[in-house]
Amino acid sequence: MIAALLGWRESKALSLQKKTNAQLAKEASALPIETTSVSKAASLRVAQGKADLGRKKKVKVLASDYVAFLRKEGGASAEELAALREIIKSRLEELDPIAIKEFMDEFNSMPEVNSGMKSDVNEYVMNVFIKKYPVEMAGMMSKNPELFSISDQSMPERVIYDPFKFLMYYCCQQKDLPLAFQCLAEASPEFQTKYIGETLQYYGDNPLGRAELFEEMRAFASTPEQRELVQGKMSDLLFDRPDAKVTFVEANELLQSANLSNEELVAATKNMEKKVRVGETGQWLDWLAKTGIPDEVSKERAFELATRWTEKDYLAVGQWLNYAPSSPEKSAVASAYAAKAYPYDPENAMKWIETIPQGPDRTKALQTIYQGMKKGEAFYDNNREVVEAFAREHGIKE
């Protein structure tokens, strides 16, 4: 009985499953027949292949027609050439970035193409392709510089412009610094290093514009290498100007609006002694004493500033020292002043050295004086005992 009952239950379940399967089959047969995902993918591949072949054929014909046009320049009327050039331009404007790369490959591979023809096509690169696809062209040019006559060497004959440099110029002329740095971000590290300085050429003398450039540089620097690159340009951005050295007022206004970090201030003030106006050195020394940059860096900057200032106007340095309050920067200035003034006014120089606390600044000044004595060969040869006595008196060792 148990076996019969189990058999009946299995028979009922099997019958129910058959009915369900039949219903599903009926519903499925009523549905429209669709292409499977596999056949769809195959169809897409075929269609894409046909599109690629069509595009490449179109590009090949365009490159051939372009070269034929350039070779015809000497034997056609001005009106005919103008009409042909407009046709060429309209065909070039239809190219997308993939087709542009294929066109440049095809054009440069043609044996009859010379530097003059490359110069001509670069005009279209700058006036058509770059303006239409700036970011894509940035990546393309940095990956294939040879196609655009970009190199570290002088430009070939009749190639009149570096198109990547033009790209930077175009972005800045459009007052679109974010686009300029987006293009740089798309380029190779080598191109970033080579062309980031181009952004400095077009900001003008407006401190607010340069403050904006500081912000865009910060946003661009997403890797350690890019941060190092940006910091290397901060000094140029702060002090350099096309027509003259920036004034203290201008630079200080920019520093306030840019709100630089201590790390950025260290980078921005590197080699500042070569860039500030000599007559404003005292103002910069006062400013250094108020910044938050590390004392060792601030003293180094003060020493270099004072060294150059003493060479130009040692009397002004002496007056500044007479009135400046005590600070690490003042010790550095006294050290630089004493070292430079010693050959002309040793008594006064030693008085200032005595004001410097025992430590690195005083030792640096004495070492500099001693080395200066030794470099004056005629003086050293005739006063060797004096020089050596100076070293012994002040504990200077070779």
Give yes or no for residue 14 having a pLDDT over 50.
no
Give yes or no for residue 129 having a pLDDT over 90.
yes
**Reduced to 3 states, what is the DSSP secondary structure of residue 326?**
coil
| Ordered DSSP codes for 265-315 | HHHHTTTGGGTS-GGGHHHHHHHHTTS-S-HHHHHHHHHHHHHHHHHHHHH
Q: What is the pLDDT of residue 28?
A: 47
Is the pTM above the cut of 0.85? no
Give yes or no for a contact between 102 and 55, defined as CB atoms under 8 angstroms apart: yes
Q: What is the pLDDT of residue 55?
A: 87
Mean pLDDT for 97-120 is 91
- pLDDT > 90: what percent of the chain? 38
Q: What is the pLDDT of residues 46-61, one digit of tens each?
A: 666 777 788 899 999 9
Sorted by sequence, the CB contacts under 8 Å of residue 93 that are 6+ apart come out as 128, 132
Query: Which pLDDT band holds residue 273 (cuts at 50, 70, 90)?
Result: very high
Give yes or no for a contact between 168 and 137, defined as CB atoms under 8 angstroms apart: no
Higher-confidence position of 236 and 40: 236
Q: What is the pLDDT of residues 223-246, one digit of tens each?
A: 999 999 998 888 888 887 666 688
Minimal CA–CA distance to 315: which of 288, 276, 355, 344? 344
Give yes or no for a contact between 239 and 276, defined as CB atoms under 8 angstroms apart: yes
Q: What is the pLDDT of residue 6?
A: 33
**CA 175, CA 169: separation in Å to the nearest integer?**
10
Give yes or no for residue 379 having a pLDDT over 80.
no
Minimal CA–CA distance to 114: which of 150, 81, 151, 157? 157
Q: What is the pLDDT of residue 19?
A: 57
Query: Which pLDDT band holds residue 11 (cuts at 50, 70, 90)?
Result: very low
**Residue 276, token pair as written in the block:** 């500030």
Q: Across all residues in the chain, what is the average pLDDT?
A: 82
Q: What is the pLDDT of residues 159-217, one digit of tens each?
A: 557 899 999 999 988 888 899 999 999 999 999 999 998 887 666 556 667 788 888 99
**CA 97, CA 129: separation in Å to the nearest integer?**
8
What are φ and ψ of residue 305, in 5° steps? -60, -45
Query: Which pLDDT band holds residue 221 (cuts at 50, 70, 90)?
Result: very high
Range with lowest mean pLDDT among 130-134, 255-259, 295-299: 255-259
Minimal CA–CA distance to 283: which of 334, 248, 329, 234? 248
Mean pLDDT for 279-305 is 93
- pLDDT > 70: what percent of the chain? 81
